[in-house]
Amino acid sequence: MRRLIIAGNWKMNGDLADAEVLTTMVKNGVANLSGLEMVICPPSLFLFPLSEIIGKNLKHISLGSQNIYHEDKGAFTGEISGAMIKKICRYTIIGHSERREYFGEDSEDVSDKTKAAIRNKIIPIICVGEKKKTAESYKDAAKELKRDLKGVDKSDYAKLVVSYEPVWAIGTGRAATPEYAAKAITLIREVVGLKTPVLYGGSVDAENIAGFTRRAEIDGALVGGASLKAKEFIKICENAVKSKSFA
């Protein structure tokens, strides 16, 4: 059975004091929730201090990085590797649309980073999604994922998480409908199989999360701006758990 995952992508926001307060509040707020794995993906600078707040014995909260480099070490100024973070991060986001657009990352980069994550026993959260919405644009996500996974051993697909994030929905307040997302995710499952968790991302909040996670096809969410608000993020987690229990 696939697990329910709610991941928060903080992007480039906050300072260390903000990060410590937010992490502590969220950690305490979801302490009594069961059937959920929550992932916090802060800026890399904050990973170590936040790992000390979370501790090593909490199975329902994990840390994730927002990016890794495809090599484990070397003369790559400014990069962080899977080998550097594998003792504190269970996850890493790979192929986010902002990385693809602003930093020129392509499917070859995503494939190389995915292999690096798996090599270091870190779970990649691979982001895919179409830029513009049309009647059948949801089909583009599965095509993109096929390109991203070129060179990745199919036996490793169960070690992945995929997040379907239509670019037109990210940060716009215009989330996809659960039905539309489910169509895209059905095609994504044809690529990675039934064991790989697939999330939805794009303008997720406490009001709409249950509509997504109530669907059997959708295993959780990758949350952007709403994950920076402790009460909102906790409510997202609570509503997701409730929706699965009544699904």
119's tokens: 């090599």
Average pLDDT over residues 224-240: 98
pLDDT cut 70: percent of the chain above it = 99
Instruction: Decide if 165 is catalytic.
Output: yes
pLDDT value for 134 = 85
Q: Is the pTM of this model over 0.85?
A: yes
Q: Which residues neighbour 112 within 8 Å (Cβ) at sequence distance 6 or greater?
A: 70, 151
Query: Annotated catalytic residue: which of 37, 98, 105, 165?
Result: 165
Q: How many CB atoms lie within 10 A of CB 241?
A: 19
- Give the confidence band of 245 by pLDDT, cuts at 50, 70, 90: confident
pLDDT value for 59 = 80
pLDDT value for 199 = 98
The model's pLDDT over 15-67, given as tens digits with 9 standing for 90+, comes to 999 999 999 999 999 999 999 999 999 999 999 999 999 987 778 899 999 99
- Give the confidence band of 3 by pLDDT, cuts at 50, 70, 90: very high
Instruction: Decide if 96 is catalytic.
Output: yes
Q: Average model confidence (pLDDT) for the chain? A: 96
Query: Annotated catalytic residue: which of 37, 96, 98, 105?
Result: 96
pLDDT value for 56 = 78
- Does residue 247 have a pLDDT over 60? no
Residue with more model confidence, 136 or 155: 155
pLDDT value for 58 = 78
**Amino acid in position 29:** G
Average pLDDT over residues 214-240: 97
CA distances from 190 to 79, 133, 218 (A): 33, 21, 14
Q: Which residues neighbour 55 within 8 Å (Cβ) at sequence distance 6 or greater?
A: none
Structural domains for the chain: 5-245 (3.20.20.70)
pLDDT value for 180 = 96
The model's pLDDT over 176-219, given as tens digits with 9 standing for 90+, comes to 999 999 999 999 999 999 999 999 999 999 999 999 999 999 99
